[in-house]
Structure 1
Amino acid sequence: MKSPLAPMTFGLRKVLSPLTYRGLKVPTKGGHVSRGVWKALYRGRYELPEIEALFALLRPTDRLLELGTGMGVVSGLAAQSHPQLQVMTYEANPAMIPVIAELHRLNAITNVQVVNAVLTRSETPGIRNFYLSKSFAVGSLLPNGTTQESVEVAACRLEDVLRDFRPDVLLCDIEGGEAELFSGQNIKGLRAVIVELHPGVIGRRSEAAIYDSMAASGLYPRIELCSGTVVAFESVQLEK
């Protein structure tokens, strides 16, 4: 049975645009905003585990690297709350770049640099296919049952970005691309990493490889900040 609130709340889309989410004005007109995304924003639940973990670990003068910008809500909230924060965010879907720009304009956000590219483990920068679905939220480097088309996007090396931008915190939600990116990768120097895992896409072996890479980099789960498939890792100096 459908929720009696569903028709009423979704019908408010035309009235409530932009919609205010945790103090952030979010433009909701356009085909990229599905019923599920709009309802999550309206009810205060959109990307909540990521947001709560990020705000618990973030410091006002940090450098934040985000992979998978989406609509720009999570990094937008961080940038709005901490004006001294420096943010670099990577979004592969070219259709989302003007959406992110509009969110930044509405909220007068100027401390976020948006890059239309993906980060990879390639030996050299290049081009990758990015697979698009009807919902922006499931676009991925990996084709799946919802894929409708693919686009070519620039691929930058994670190692280069870590060296040049020198982030303190990394936030990652890239729909399964985390397996390729983090397995066996040394990411020492980061104080915290928040990553949404996608077990149905990457499998248990890749999950284990990600945990091993984090541990090898001195990053261990903060259990109280983990929720569902979102895992928060923090740097721990272990005694020898």
Structure 2
Amino acid sequence: MTGILTNLRALTLRALRARTATIDGVLVSTDPNDPLLRPIRAKIFKGVYEAPERALLKMLLTPEDRVLDIGACTGLIASLSAMTVGSENVVAYEANPRLQKLILCNFALNGVSPHLHMKAITADGRAVTLHITGNLFSSSLIDRQHQTDTESIPSEPIAAVLEKERPTLVSMDVEGAEEELIGATEFPGVRKILIETHPHIVDPEQPARVVRRLAALGFQQLRTEGDSLALIRS
């Protein structure tokens, strides 16, 4: 019955052509005139958009944290973080320049202003090729052989970003590039990691390798939601 009611709510909101929806207290743009949002509008209305990441973030995040959000996408995680720790304690990176307007829109809807950098983060700070797909939210630095466009994107090395920003919590959703990043640093000062793995992009053994690498750095796995992991170290 709950699932039926959820679907009916989503259909009703879509029928009304709502321009925003609320998820975990965060306003999210659902502008029906924005073609960028078409792949995710239904998920937003049903309240399931980024549900695993949101559940894990709420478990990990405390008001004392400083957050680095790598792969900001719509800005939902950065907005949710800023509402808990303050905008001045949230730094977000997003490689896809086509998402900048949407991220800033969502920040404005919630009266938050995390520090936003439209760049990738890599192991070495090299320029990278972003493979852009029809669903821009699935665009990746990994060539998945079905991109519609490519774009050269500047990046910053993860070690330098960690040294500059000094986060205590890192949220990472980088569409298959996570192994490169976790292999390039020991995450100094970071106590909590929220990471989405992408075995369908890389290979099915990737989550196990991610956990082993982070375990070697002292992180213990607290909880798994789908392909997303929450880890903490003392």
Q: Taking structure 1 as the reference length, what is the TM-score of the superposition? A: 0.86
CA deviation after TM superposition for structure 1 residue 34, in Å: 2.3
- Residue 25 (structure 1) aligned with residue 27 (structure 2): yes
Query: Hey, what does 1:197 align to over in structure 2?
Result: 197
Q: 1:195 to 1:103 in 2, by over 3 A?
A: same
1:75 counterpart (69, 74, 78): 78
2: CA distance, partners of 1:48 / 1:85: 25
Q: Deviations for 1:174-219, whole angstroms, at most 9, x for unmatched residues? A: 1101122213642242111011111122224543432222112110
Once the two structures are superposed, residues 83-133 of structure 1 have per-residue CA deviations (whole angstroms, 9 ceiling, x without a partner) of 3761111101101111111111121112x11100111111xx331111111
> Which residue matches 1:56?
59
Quick one: structure 1 residues 212 and 33, their matched pair in 2 at CA, closer, same or farther if it must change by over 3 Å? same
Tell me what 1:119 maps to.
121
Which structure 1 segments of 5+ residues have no match? none
Task: Point out where structure 2 has 5 or more consecutive residues left out of the alignment.
Answer: none
TM value normalised by structure 2 = 0.88
Q: How many residues align?
A: 227
- 2:209 matched residue in structure 1: 209
Partner of 1:128 in structure 2?
128
Verify the 8 A CA contact 1:61 1:85 in the aligned structure 2: no
Query: Are the structure 2 counterparts of residues 13 and 231 from structure 1 closer, same or farther at C-alpha, using a change threshold of 3 Å?
Result: farther
d(CA) in 1 for partners of 2:72, 2:59: 19
CA distance in 2, matches of 1:196, 1:91: 15
State the match for 1:95 in structure 2: 98
- Give the Cα–Cα distance (whole angstroms) in 1 for the partners of residues 150 and 16 of structure 2: 29
Which residue among 226, 230, 233 is the counterpart of 1:232? 230
One-letter amino acid matched to 1:66: D
How far is 1:74 from its partner? 1.5
Contact 1:179 1:202 in 2 (8 A): no
Specify whether residues 152 and 184 from structure 1 end up closer, same or farther in structure 2 by C-alpha distance, changes over 3 A only. Answer: closer
Match for residue 152 of structure 1? 152
User: Aligned-pair RMSD on alpha carbons?
Assistant: 2.2
The range that moved more, 89-98 or 74-83, is 74-83
SS where residue 126 of structure 1 aligns?
coil
Structure 2: how far apart are the matches of 1:84 and 1:109? 6
**Maintained 8 Å contact 2:66/2:85:** no
Q: Residue 61 of structure 1 contacts residue 84 of structure 1 at CA under 8 Å; is this kept in 2?
A: no
